[in-house]
């Protein structure tokens, strides 16, 4: 996967295909068709097809184009509102800052969701929100979706999109999951069925590792609130971060199974990393990383069902 994505990127950025930043709707549509499988992997034939189209139209394909193609079904407006203004994404935030230390107020779940008794998925670090909105739009009567994000402007924009799409099974909160996760999910009327932590801030420096979201208190809170049979999905494009998260959840082997131990159809490599994304669509960070040739390290766990 990484090799083919890198091959695709090198072809488009190798020179001679036209001015950088040129776009073409036909190519975006082609990329969307070529990436329509649930795993979203580019095989050699797909790379060749996209490369041929690029050569024909003399354009460059960029990772934002791939993001746009994968999320095109949402038809999200580019201009949101004058009140929100320009959304500049700050990549790294210190969750230990005093401004993030207060627990968020628990919402009235009956106002947040049309049916607050549905099973709940919580995405910790929901970013732009497109990933969760895509899931919510496709499963309106099956599950509710809650995104926790520490960057307020991203939450505001995601809320705007939710209202624009008239969705009643997805909600975003400006919250520090390290502080507020337990307080929020413990009050939710329905069962907690799935928790995802996807490409969290790596905080590379050793002295900043304490800022990483996956810490023992959060792991304990997730496991405590997760219903039997509920799942935890983690992934990162940074091996060190993926290993750190894996160590935290693997240590709970008396409570959690890894999915390949329960379902032989779940394919892993020799190191135990999932070979594909089981969610049906990639996150934006995942798309950017794979476009640049990076590998995504994934694990999925299920809480034991006791008789």
Reported as type and span, the H/E element at residue 161 is helix 152-165
Give just the sign of the alpha carbon dihedral 18, 22, 28, 29: negative
- Six-digit token string for 99: 């401004």
- Classify each residue of 103-119 as buried b or exposed e, where b means 16 or more C-beta atoms within 10 Å of its C-beta: ebeebebeebbeebebe
Q: How far apart are CA 150 and CA 137, in angstroms?
A: 23
Q: Cβ(190)–Cβ(142) under 8 Å?
A: no
Q: Which of 123, 159, 201, 244 is catalytic?
A: 201
Q: Cβ(174)–Cβ(155) under 8 Å?
A: yes
- 65 catalytically annotated: no
- What Cα–Cα distance (Å) separates residue 244 from each residue in 27, 58, 160, 304? 39, 43, 34, 22
Catalytic (active-site) positions: 201
């Amino acid at each position: 996967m990484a090799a083919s994505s890198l091959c695709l990127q090198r072809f488009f950025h190798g020179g001679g295909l036209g001015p950088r930043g040129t776009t073409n709707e036909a190519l975006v549509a082609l990329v969307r068709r070529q990436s329509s499988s649930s795993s979203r992997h580019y095989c050699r034939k797909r790379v060749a097809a996209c490369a041929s189209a690029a050569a024909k139209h003399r354009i460059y394909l960029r990772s934002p184009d791939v993001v746009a193609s994968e999320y095109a079904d949402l038809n999200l407006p580019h201009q949101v509102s004058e009140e929100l203004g320009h959304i500049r994404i700050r990549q790294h935030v210190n969750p230990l800052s005093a401004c993030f230390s207060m627990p968020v107020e628990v919402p009235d779940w009956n106002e947040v969701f049309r049916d607050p008794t549905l099973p709940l998925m919580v995405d910790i670090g929901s970013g732009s929100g497109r990933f969760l909105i895509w899931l919510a739009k496709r499963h309106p009567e099956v599950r509710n979706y809650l995104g926790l994000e520490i960057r307020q402007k991203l939450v505001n924009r995601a809320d705007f999109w939710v209202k624009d799409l008239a969705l009643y099974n997805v909600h975003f909160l400006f919250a520090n999951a390290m502080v507020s996760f337990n307080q929020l999910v413990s009050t939710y009327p329905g069962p907690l069925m799935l928790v995802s932590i996807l490409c969290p801030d790596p905080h590379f420096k050793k002295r900043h590792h304490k800022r990483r979201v996956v810490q023992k208190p959060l792991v304990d809170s997730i496991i405590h609130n997760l219903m039997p049979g509920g799942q935890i999905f983690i992934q990162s494009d940074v091996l060190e971060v993926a290993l750190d998260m894996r160590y935290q959840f693997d240590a709970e082997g008396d409570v959690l199974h890894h999915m390949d131990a329960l379902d032989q159809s779940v394919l892993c490599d020799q190191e135990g990393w999932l070979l594909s994304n089981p969610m049906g669509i990639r996150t934006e960070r995942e798309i950017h990383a794979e476009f640049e040739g990076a590998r995504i390290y994934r694990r999925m766990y299920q809480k034991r069902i006791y008789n």
